[in-house]
Amino acid sequence: MSNISLSKCGIQRKPFILVPLLFLSYFFHFGFCQDLMAGTPDSEYDEKALNTHRLDNLNLLLYTFLLILTVVTIWMFKHRRLRFLHETGLAVIYGLVVGAIIRYTGPTPEVRVLPVVPSLGTHYNHSVPPDVLWLQLSKRIIERSSKTSATYLNNHTFVYTFKGEIDNTSLNEIDQKATFDPEVFFNLLLPPIIFHAAYSLKRKYFFKNLGAIFTFAFVGTTVTAFVTGSLIWGFIQIFPYLAKDFSFLDTLYFGAVISATDPVTILAIFSELHVDVNLYALVFGESVLNDAIAIVLTRAIQSYAEKYNPNHGGFEMVAFFQAVGEFLLIFTSSLVLGSTLGIATALLTKFTRIRDFPLLETCLFVLMSYTTFLIAEATDLTGIVSVLFCGMCQAHYTFNNLSDDSRVRTKSLFELLNFLAENFIFSYIGVSMFTFPKHHFDVAFICIAFIAVALGRAANIYPLSFLLNFGRKPKISRNFQHVLFFSGLRGAMAFALAIRNTMSKARQTFLTTTSLIVIGSVIFVGGSVTPLLSCFGIPVGVDEDPDHAALPGTPHRTYGSILQQTPGENTIDGTVTEPTRSSTQSEKSWLARIWGGFDTKYMKPLLTHSKPTLIDTLPPCCLPVARMLTTSEQLHLGNGGQGHSDSDIELCIDDTDSVRSGPRAFASTQPGFQRVYFVNDRKMAMDDEDRHLFYPIVSPEALTGDSLGKQLPGSSV
């Protein structure tokens, strides 16, 4: 994660803009810097370090301030029930405003620049610029300088590392350089976002719609990328000045970059409005997976470009198949790696008693998940894909083995990280529109791209829905298709891919266009979802499971809740509501059915403490192995509440096991809790001796934020 360089170039060039935020600064600024340039070398370096440090902090402070502003405004919006703008839209708008202020106001502190040339007699025969420069200031230069202290520079060799390239050597150019290293997005911000998406995936509906989701994500994203890329290439032939800057591969690359849709905005709104769960699952599942597809597709196109020999011209079959092969290999390898490490964590938590120490357990969980990403990236695979499938395994298996404490910790940690990372990226998209130096605005290209992106999305949704409807039981209605089309917002992933390489003019144009598409879609499409839904007659206020209706006023997917509601459990009045049988076999994807059977029979018994155990499911010849792989917890576990054999329920760990595992976790020391109630907003498990076990789901005040709740009296502000 080299150079989280907020760094020596970003905001610090214009720190005075932060003064309104930092009124304290004037009281406390002791003027360390003014009169020290003549001190000892040590104190000068101290000073230099201090300056860098201070300016880096100003930079971070800017974004923290933007985040605080966003958080407070979101709260106001939620409190006042305004829904025309989502938090990500807010973050972008605040970012744009602050970026503009930074750009157009404030003085520019001095940067000491020295043009250099290779020293005499040096050979350099590489095709890329050197990584490191060694600067020795000759006596000649120093003696010409007036300051005596400059003699210190004599006889020292200073090291400089490669930063980038500039077009023209005007000061203004490097002025606003660094801001953030794109690596920050890939190594720090995207992994928690993707992991959280996987970890909080409603697997029940995901598996129900597996076929459609896979089709949209795999086939659809590829189609979108190629259609978008081809359309843009076609359009720009009208503009000769554009046509010479972009090859077909360039536009295809752009198509891949922009093909990743972002679910954040749309899903938050769906969630608040309680939109149909299958629609929710389709949108969520598609956007989670297509991030992974887009990133691998981008790499495959890069790889084709690298293997492509421009001297031959035309289409190169070998390079193409190599690229396709690489695409498949990278994707499946990443998938296998992610799942393997997820399963390793499940085994580690099942067969050790590390859950005795929830803090260690949580650390291990977090570290193992992050390691998945790092191993994948270090071995040239795609970390995002790995972390996605690792997250799914963690949620499906490991989550069951965790202590209660760790469940709450991991859920809330990733929820928090996801929120912060997401809003940070959107703030940054706003700020960087003005401060990032590598933008290249081209109105024609931008207009073309907007049209092509919309058409590309349409080429994904409508034909594929048509094809899918042949095989699906609950068909994807025309109105659902429209919503799917509109839900193709672009977000963090597209931006992160676009900002990764901004060396050439083509890439800079891509960055600018991507930023604008992200901003446009998040603000305008995001803002118009609510009216669109009613326009298309999409049912809102649908409860996921009918039994939720028995919990009056409980939001079923509340903003900020740690644990989700439980379907198919006893309700407050003590009656047992059966899980809905609307999800009959015929409705399920055949893929889901095959997987569900295998999962219930072998994977879950192996990796979690669930019943039936491997002793029951494996053939008798494997009994010794099965015994070894079955823990005593698993054997001694009471059957109460564990008897569901429906794989839909089994697939839906989040929903069912958060309560059931209560007894599991305490089985060795306490009698199993057998009855499960809901007390307003709390989940309660009651055992034989009438002792109670509660989980806070959401504070009752949260109801005020729920669209179905009523404003409570007496709330201040």
Residues in 302-331 at the binding interface with a copy of itself, rule: CB under 8 A? 302-303, 305-306, 310, 326, 329-330
Q: Are strands 692-696 and 673-679 parallel, antiparallel or unpaired?
A: unpaired
699 near a copy of itself (CB under 8 A): yes
665 near a copy of itself (CB under 8 A): yes
Residue 696 belongs to what H/E stretch? Answer: strand 692-696
> Which range, of 380-388, 428-436, 439-447, 482-490, touches a copy of itself by CB under 8 A?
380-388
**Least distance from C-beta 71 to a copy of itself, angstroms?**
5
379 near a copy of itself (CB under 8 A): yes
Q: Which residues in the 403-442 window bind a copy of itself by CB under 8 A?
A: 403-405, 408-409, 412-413, 415-416, 419-420
**Least distance from C-beta 251 to a copy of itself, angstroms?**
13
* Per-residue binder mask for a copy of itself (CB under 8 A), 117-146, x = binder: xxxx-xxxxxxxxxxxxxxxxx--xx-xxx
CA dihedral 677, 679, 682, 683 (to 10 degrees): 0
Q: Please name the amino acid found at residue 47.
A: E
CA dihedral 570, 571, 574, 579 (to 10 degrees): -40
Q: Which residues in the 181-210 window bind a copy of itself by CB under 8 A?
A: 182-183, 186-187
Return the SS3 of 582: coil
* Per-residue binder mask for a copy of itself (CB under 8 A), 547-576, x = binder: ------------xxxx--------------
CB 440 within 8 A of CB 509: yes
Cα separation, 264 vs 281, whole angstroms: 13
CB 532 within 8 A of CB 680: no
Cα separation, 268 vs 270, whole angstroms: 6
Identified binder of a copy of itself from the candidate list 101, 219, 347, 375, rule CB under 8 A: 375
Residue 104 or 162 having the CB closest to a copy of itself: 162
Cα separation, 515 vs 490, whole angstroms: 9
Residues forming beta bridges with residue 676, ordered by sequence position: 685
**Least distance from C-beta 4 to a copy of itself, angstroms?**
4
362 near a copy of itself (CB under 8 A): yes
Identified binder of a copy of itself from the candidate list 571, 617, 642, 670, rule CB under 8 A: 670
Identified binder of a copy of itself from the candidate list 99, 358, 391, 488, rule CB under 8 A: 358
Tokens of 242: 């554009």
Closest listed residue to residue 71, CA positions, set 433, 567, 560, 513:
560
Q: Which residues in the 612-641 window bind a copy of itself by CB under 8 A?
A: 631-633, 636
Cα separation, 177 vs 6, whole angstroms: 9
92 near a copy of itself (CB under 8 A): no
**Least distance from C-beta 475 to a copy of itself, angstroms?**
36
594 near a copy of itself (CB under 8 A): no
**Least distance from C-beta 123 to a copy of itself, angstroms?**
6
Q: Which residues in the 438-497 window bind a copy of itself by CB under 8 A?
A: none
Burial 432-469 (b: 16+ CB within 10 A, else e): bbbbbbbbbebeebeebbeebbbebbebbbeebbeebe
684 near a copy of itself (CB under 8 A): yes
Identified binder of a copy of itself from the candidate list 366, 395, 464, 659, rule CB under 8 A: 366
Q: Which residues in the 225-244 window bind a copy of itself by CB under 8 A?
A: none
**Least distance from C-beta 612 to a copy of itself, angstroms?**
19
State the SS3 of 567-634: CCCECCCCCECCCCCCCCHHHCCHHHHHHHHHHHHHHHHHHCCCCCCHHHHCCHHHHHHHHHCCCHHH
Cα separation, 577 vs 556, whole angstroms: 16
Cα separation, 213 vs 204, whole angstroms: 13
**Least distance from C-beta 273 to a copy of itself, angstroms?**
17
Cα separation, 642 vs 142, whole angstroms: 81
**Least distance from C-beta 488 to a copy of itself, angstroms?**
26
Total residues contacting a copy of itself (rule CB under 8 A)? 201
78 near a copy of itself (CB under 8 A): yes
Residues in the chain: 717
Residue 82 or 679 having the CB closest to a copy of itself: 679
114 near a copy of itself (CB under 8 A): yes
Terminal C-alpha separation, the chain = 43
